Amino acid sequence: MGKKIAVIGAVLEEPQEAQTQFNQVVSEFKGIVRGRMGIPFEDVSVSVISIVVVATLDEINSFTGKLGNINGVNVKTSLSKKEI
């Protein structure tokens, strides 16, 4: 099975409560993570994080599933059509 490039976008609605668990999950998948950018919106207690990964579809789905199961975290994924 080929690998794809994906961008995972996550909105943490209560970052002070979700961030530790979120970072633990990202750490579990550090082998597929190519880049990460986080933007805090401290005035409204929200963080927006984008993560670029290169992985199989199964790995991407597992990663986003674990992130999406964290309370207060909303996740969307955009996948490349091209396999690499």
**Taking the domains of the chain in order of start, what are their residue ranges?**
4-79
pLDDT in tens, 26-76: 999 999 999 999 999 999 999 999 999 999 999 999 999 999 999 999 999
Looking at 3.30.70.1150, 2.30.130.10, 3.20.20.80, 3.40.30.10, the CATH number of the domain 4-79 comes to: 3.30.70.1150
Q: What is the pTM of this model?
A: 0.94
Cα 34 to Cα 71: distance, rounded to the nearest angstrom: 25
Cα 78 to Cα 71: distance, rounded to the nearest angstrom: 21
Say if residue 1's pLDDT is above 90: no
